[in-house]
Amino acid sequence: MRIGIDVGGTNTDAVLMDGDQVLAAVKAPTTADVTTGIVMALNGLQGQHPFPPADVRAVMIGTTHFINALVEARGLAPTAALRLGLPATASLPPMVDWPDRLVAAISGRGYLAHGGHEFDGRPISPLDEDELRRHAADMAAHGVRSVAISSVFSPVNTEFEQRAAEVLGEELGPDVPVSLSHEIGRVGLLERENATIINAALRDLAAGIVDGLAASIAGHGITAPLYLSQNDGTLMDVEFARRYPVATFASGPTNSMRGAAVLSGLDTCAVVDVGGTTTDVGVLTGGFPREATVEVSVAGIRTNFRMPDVLSIGLGGGSLVRGHGTDVTVGPDSVGYRLTKQALVFGGDVLTATDVAVAAGRVAIGDPSRVAELAPSDVAAALERIGADVADVVDRMRISPDPLPVVAVLLSQRGMCPFPSGSVHR
């Protein structure tokens, strides 16, 4: 037997499989500590189809926690970006193309130092270790908890990045993790550097989430290996996930895309994966996710690490709805797993996309009387905004004018995708 678990921002889904046969499937609310929600899902599997924990051969987990954290700018560590390349590259400092809110969320600090290489491996300038130690002292003084090191053409020559990591480790100690760009991105300095900074900012969060995942599985008596889904649909062990949380960024959408292909019978289509916090759109070609061949924009940041061509927007069943009429906005922030406590239809005081869906009569969930007073014009405007945003994302993912089938993977039971029919076209 194998267990597959998807930890989303709103719900945790789990299935128990024997070969290709699904023996049980459950949905439980995601919890703040991650562990409790997984335990609830595992208990649900046991209730539907009792099984000895020793019979489980592997547990595979996909999670959207990391991409959600970046999109919502929460749970990110104070991060420093150290670039080796002076006297070159000074005109475009680290994080120059980042949204201001994300720079603020990571308390981003950029440092330029001598080093780097030409495209043929020749040094641009010698590494100045005293300069690095001065930068490390400033990082410590400003409470930096994670560091991203990038060097010009480091995929060609990794020497300077590795030595800089050693120097910073000596100065900052083992509790400040260091991410190296040559291990994460491809040639292309700014995009590779951006990916490395994101990875560094997520290291604290990754440690807590991975520990929670492992503890929940072990606490259920399961001793089978634990794997996390990677961006391309393959698997990695938990230690790898601690070091490279960006490798899980598209694991949720990738898993949904592969599942959509199997369930719909369409091997070439666009897949709109709607969660409680984000909507992720990708394209399947021959049954497999189309891989991005150029830089990928993640939460408005250009990156170039290996991942499927997926575009994420902060729009889901738990997205907050604000404004009126033409000024209405939906997302990018979301109540996430707190939907069943904070949404209006569940007795809360926050207007969400799910409330809009109930008010429009598109779904019966919670207490419809709690949204009966919403102005019909505001409900219609919110639906129009949602439809326009989704249609725009699908159009941006198309690479030809040919008709493209669209498969939607939606929330169920605890939340509801409020997308109006007809807003996405085959």
What integer pLDDT is reported at residue 424 of this predicted model? 39
- Alpha-helical (H) ranges within 151-243 are 159-172, 189-219, 238-243
Q: What is the pLDDT of residues 343-361, one digit of tens each?
A: 999 999 999 999 999 998 8
- Alpha-helical (H) ranges within 91-128 are 100-105
Whole-model pTM: value is 0.71
One domain, residues 236 and 284: no
Element (H, E) at 69: helix 65-72
The mean pLDDT value for 276-289 works out to 83
Contact call for residues 356 and 321 (beta carbons, < 8 A): yes
More confident residue, 325 or 131: 131
One domain, residues 417 and 299: yes
Chain centre distance of CA 340: 22
Q: What is the pLDDT of residues 160-197, one digit of tens each?
A: 999 999 999 999 999 999 999 999 988 889 999 999 99
The mean pLDDT value for 195-215 works out to 91
The mean pLDDT value for 396-400 works out to 85
Closest CA relative to residue 220, chosen from 33, 13, 28, 55: 55
DSSP 24-54: EEEEEE--TTSHHHHHHHHHHHHHHS---GG
What integer pLDDT is reported at residue 195 of this predicted model? 94
What integer pLDDT is reported at residue 262 of this predicted model? 73
Contact call for residues 146 and 77 (beta carbons, < 8 A): yes
Instruction: Quote the domain boundaries for residue 246.
Output: 2-70+207-262
More confident residue, 262 or 191: 191
Structure tokens at 186: 């491809």
Does the N-terminal peptide bond of residue 87 adopt cis geometry, omega within 30 degrees of 0? yes
One domain, residues 421 and 275: yes
Structure tokens at 54: 């020793």
Q: What is the pLDDT of residues 103-144, one digit of tens each?
A: 999 999 999 999 999 999 899 999 999 999 999 999 999 999
One domain, residues 270 and 258: no
Structure letter (DSSP) for residue 314: S
The structure tokens 């989303």 sit at 8
CATH code of the domain covering residue 33? 3.30.420.40
How far is it, in rounded angstroms, from Cα 80 to Cα 134? 13
Q: Is the pLDDT of residue 322 over 50?
A: yes
The structure tokens 């807590």 sit at 208
One domain, residues 41 and 164: no
CATH code of the domain covering residue 130? 3.40.50
Structure letter (DSSP) for residue 187: S
In the chain, the N- to C-terminal Cα span, in Å, equals 37
One domain, residues 183 and 239: no
Structure tokens at 285: 């070609």
Closest CA relative to residue 313, chosen from 343, 349, 277, 286: 277
Confidence label for 264 from pLDDT (cuts 50, 70 and 90): confident
One domain, residues 288 and 396: yes
Last residue of a domain, one of 262, 283, 307: 262
Structure tokens at 124: 């641009």
What integer pLDDT is reported at residue 411 of this predicted model? 53
Structure tokens at 127: 């590494």
Q: Is the pLDDT of residue 365 over 70?
A: yes
Pairing mode, if any, of strands 319-322 and 329-334? antiparallel
> What average pLDDT does the chain have?
87
> How many domains is the chain built from?
3
One domain, residues 362 and 388: yes
Q: What is the pLDDT of residues 291-316, one digit of tens each?
A: 877 777 888 899 988 778 888 888 88
Does the N-terminal peptide bond of residue 376 adopt cis geometry, omega within 30 degrees of 0? no
One domain, residues 80 and 158: yes
**Residue 236: burial class (beta carbons within 10 Å; 0-12, 13-18, 19+):** middle
